[in-house]
């Protein structure tokens, strides 16, 4: 009896058929499941990392990267570290001697024109000084070098040129971001650029205003179309849906070019208005190469992105809601405004986000139909990437545009709530 009453201190350990503790076997199986799930999502993760995360990280780095001057002119940068531009005097002969040594190496490596182009973004004329000196550097005799450099190009006698080299000799710079907001760094600190050189803040403002205008236009045009698609019989609504999706089967370039034909002063729309005597031949409307052309063309291109979310949400609203409101005494307008419209707000939110984000980054359509008054900030980004090759400034403009979109997205989430956005 004493043995039976004694407490059992040893608990039986559950094991599998091969003697492995059950707890350890379950942990091993769970690790295998997690590893299998990780292997399944690994291709998608790598795709996002390579095509999305890596380009954004590269853009962030390029917007502050500035090691070209320091790598190409290391001896000159070291000598200029002890030179004070505020003195108003040129750096001494050691600076010219160091520059001569650096230029010989840079010409041999064919990098002197690159550093000249980089500094030319900050002070026009520096690029030509580097090109002229590069052609004469092999013929320069031993020092003194100051007179020989001045003979090659008089700009080497400008204190501002040496100040620019010293100012942008660090590996990182805020110069691109300052230029992107129409500012520059001077001896007295950060200051606004001359009024005739300010362009980017104005373009940012124009991009935001026109993107909002295009979004509102898409709401005004897309809402009744989506309502019609949601309330018509299925056969008719399917036919109209094909017409809505038809633009997706046509090249964006073709659609934009078609609007050039329609909107020009000798185009189809003006000819029709003259024919029906709404306007006379001398008063033809100017609807191309301005903001009007950009808004019209982009509204047409982005309209399906507003219609589809609205339609998918409207199809989920039971018709009994409207019937119940009318049975309680509401007229058609009251039932629509108090019952139907609030239920479609998630679709409006989803369509607005799609249209706004797409429009803010458009550059093909504004480039073709916008002229000088209808281009977006994205057109300047494309220009610096393709033509001026100022990738640092293009990256800075892209980063600021990305920040603006994220801020607006955050404000939208605070005001409307992103959880209320639905696609159906």
DSSP state letter for 53: I
CB distance 73 to 99 below 8 Å: yes
Over 70: is that where the pLDDT of 322 sits?
Answer: yes
Both 261 and 376 in one domain: the answer is yes
Both 260 and 369 in one domain: the answer is yes
Both 110 and 241 in one domain: the answer is no
Q: What is the mean pLDDT of residues 399-424?
A: 76
pLDDT band at 307 (very low <50, low <70, confident <90, very high): very high
What pLDDT does 6 receive?
Answer: 46
Both 285 and 405 in one domain: the answer is yes
Both 28 and 74 in one domain: the answer is no
Q: How many CB atoms lie within 10 A of CB 163?
A: 19
Both 73 and 107 in one domain: the answer is yes
Distance of CA 30 to the CA centre of its chain: 42
Q: Is residue 188 part of a domain?
A: no
What pLDDT does 224 receive?
Answer: 93
Helix (H, G, I), strand (E, B) or coil at 62: helix
CA distance 284 to 266: 8
Element (H, E) at 185: strand 183-186
Both 210 and 283 in one domain: the answer is yes
DSSP state letter for 192: E
91 lies in which domain range? 67-172
Both 410 and 343 in one domain: the answer is yes
Both 307 and 356 in one domain: the answer is yes
DSSP state letter for 4: H
CA distance 375 to 346: 31
Q: What Å distances lie between residue 368 and 96, 203, 213, 253, 362, CA to CA?
A: 48, 17, 19, 9, 11
Tokens of 235: 């056969």
CATH no. for residue 412? 1.10.3720.10
Q: What is the mean pLDDT of residues 153-170?
A: 88
Instruction: Please return the burial class of 237, using the count of CB atoms within 10 Å of its CB with bins 0-12, 13-18 and 19+.
Output: middle
Both 241 and 350 in one domain: the answer is yes
Q: What Å distances lie between residue 147 and 112, 129, 138, 154, 317, CA to CA?
A: 20, 14, 15, 10, 83
What pLDDT does 75 receive?
Answer: 92
At 173-205, the pLDDT tens digits run 888 999 899 988 877 778 888 888 889 999 999
Helix (H, G, I), strand (E, B) or coil at 23: helix
What pLDDT does 9 receive?
Answer: 47
Question: How far is it between the farthest Cα atoms of the chain?
Answer: 120
CB distance 263 to 300 below 8 Å: no
Tally the residues of the chain: 424
Number of structural domains found in the chain: 3
């Amino acid at each position: 009896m004493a043995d039976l009453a004694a407490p059992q201190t040893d608990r039986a350990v559950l094991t599998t058929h091969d003697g492995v503790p059950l707890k350890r076997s379950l942990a091993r199986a769970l690790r295998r499941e997690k590893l299998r799930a990780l292997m399944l999502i690994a291709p998608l993760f790598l795709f996002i990392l390579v095509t999305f995360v890596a380009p954004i990280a590269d853009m962030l780095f390029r917007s502050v990267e500035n090691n070209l001057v320091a790598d190409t002119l290391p001896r000159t940068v070291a000598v200029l570290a002890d030179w004070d531009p505020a003195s108003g005097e040129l750096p001494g002969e050691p600076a010219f001697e160091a520059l001569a040594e650096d230029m010989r190496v840079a010409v041999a490596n064919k990098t002197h024109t690159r550093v000249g182009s980089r500094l030319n973004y900050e002070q026009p004329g520096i690029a030509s000084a580097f090109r002229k000196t590069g052609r004469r550097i092999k013929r320069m005799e031993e020092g003194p070098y100051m007179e020989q450099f001045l003979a090659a190009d008089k700009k080497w006698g400008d204190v501002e040129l040496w100040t620019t080299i010293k100012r942008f000799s660090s590996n990182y710079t805020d110069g691109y971001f300052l230029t992107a907001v129409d500012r520059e760094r001077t001896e007295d600190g950060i200051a606004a650029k001359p009024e005739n050189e300010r362009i980017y803040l104005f373009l940012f403002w124009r991009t935001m205003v026109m993107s909002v205008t295009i979004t509102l236009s898409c709401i005004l045009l897309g809402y009744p179309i989506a309502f019609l698609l949601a309330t018509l019989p299925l056969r008719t609504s399917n036919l109209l849906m094909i017409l809505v999706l038809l633009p997706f089967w046509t090249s964006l370039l073709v659609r934009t070019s078609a609007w050039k034909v329609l909107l020009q002063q000798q185009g189809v729309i003006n000819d029709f208005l003259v024919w029906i005597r709404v306007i006379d031949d001398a008063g033809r409307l100017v609807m191309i190469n301005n903001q009007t052309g950009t808004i019209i063309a982009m509204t047409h291109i982005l309209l399906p992105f507003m219609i589809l979310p609205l339609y998918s949400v409207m199809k989920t609203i039971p018709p009994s809601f409207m019937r119940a409101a009318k049975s309680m005494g509401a007229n058609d307008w009251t039932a629509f405004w108090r019952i139907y419209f609030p239920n479609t707000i998630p679709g409006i939110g989803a369509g607005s986000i799609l249209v706004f984000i797409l429009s803010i980054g458009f550059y093909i359509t504004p480039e073709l139909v916008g002229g000088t008054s209808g281009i977006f900030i994205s057109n300047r980004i494309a220009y610096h990437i393709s033509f001026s090759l100022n990738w640092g400034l293009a990256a800075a403009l892209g980063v600021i545009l990305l920040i603006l979109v994220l801020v607006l997205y955050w404000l939208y989430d605070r005001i409307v709530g992103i959880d209320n956005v639905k696609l159906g």
